[in-house]
Amino acid sequence: MKPFFPDCHTHTRQSKDSQVTMRQYCERALEMGIDYLAFTDHIDLDPADFSFGYYNFDSAWKEFRETREEFGNRIELAFGVEVSCQTSLVDEARAVIEGRPYDIVIGSVHILDGLGGDISSRENTPKMFEKYGVGEIYRKYLDEVESSIEQGLYDVIGHIGILKRHGTPYLKGLDLAGYEEQIDRIARKLAEAGLALEVNASGMWQPPAQPYPDTEFVKRFLDYGGARVTVCSDAHVLENLGRCVPELLTTLKNAGVNEITLFKNRKPIKRPI
């Protein structure tokens, strides 16, 4: 039997940093044998963000319904969003989530409150590390991730560790011992909240050469009773759809993950790996 092949986090032309239509993704997904495909376009709420104000719910919902009409009997499709979560913008995040027909809502940290700029940006990440120092950036990032768990708005916490994308040269020299307690607390809180941990394959072809988060963190999450894990490519271009997800599923299976969680109508559905 063919292994189940999901991709729970992708970006379309409804995100400012993608040009791909939902239809194009579906055609490619059928060629690849993808079984479940979630469109999770960016909602960015901080004026410091590159795509602040770009997302248009009506446009995204219309395109999704048209795409589902054409492809919904051949592939399981989910309508979602990736919200850039910040401690100072909880009310704004709630306002763009509640009352909308999302299947899956991902909360991801991109902007660090008070420091400005995107910590997953090729241009901005090095500037932030050089201006504030690796220790302050790393601590602030962990604070924002922990806050995103506590906000109670999201189904999934996205790409923990994304600051490694363009910050790997800076982070290599960081002594993690001083952050161990908080990292462990984040894994525990995530598990206790019943939220899904996203394991994002994009880091496997980016400088870290490992998923976001790494398997050590996944194991911590499991040790604390974490039961929901999603996988994704985080594709912004068609060529990256489903990229490295099959390999990631094997890695997760070896780490003790036996089921992947999907979402429909914001309700979790388990599928065996």
The two three-digit tokens of residue 167, written as one number? 């910050």
Grade residue 2 by pLDDT with cuts at 50, 70 and 90. Answer: confident
Segment 189-192 long-range contacts (CB within 8 Å, at least 24 positions apart): 189/146, 189/149, 189/150, 190/149, 190/157, 190/221, 190/224, 190/226, 191/221, 191/224, 191/225, 191/226, 191/227, 192/224, 192/225
Domain assignment present for 43? yes
pLDDT digits (tens, 9 = 90+) for 168-195: 999 988 888 999 999 999 999 999 999 9
pLDDT value, residue 101: 98
Domain assignment present for 159? yes
**Full domain range(s) for residue 90:** 6-272
Number of domains in the chain: 1
Domain assignment present for 88? yes
Q: Which of 233, 217, 222, 212 is closest to 259 using CA atoms?
A: 222
Domain assignment present for 74? yes
pTM: 0.97
pLDDT digits (tens, 9 = 90+) for 219-230: 999 999 999 999
pLDDT digits (tens, 9 = 90+) for 86-130: 999 999 999 999 999 999 999 999 999 888 789 998 888 999 999
Domain assignment present for 1? no
Q: What is the CATH number of the domain that holds 53?
A: 3.20.20.140
Q: Indicate the average pLDDT of the chain.
A: 96
Q: Which of 149, 145, 135 is closest to 178 using CA atoms?
A: 135
Radius of gyration of the chain (CA): 17
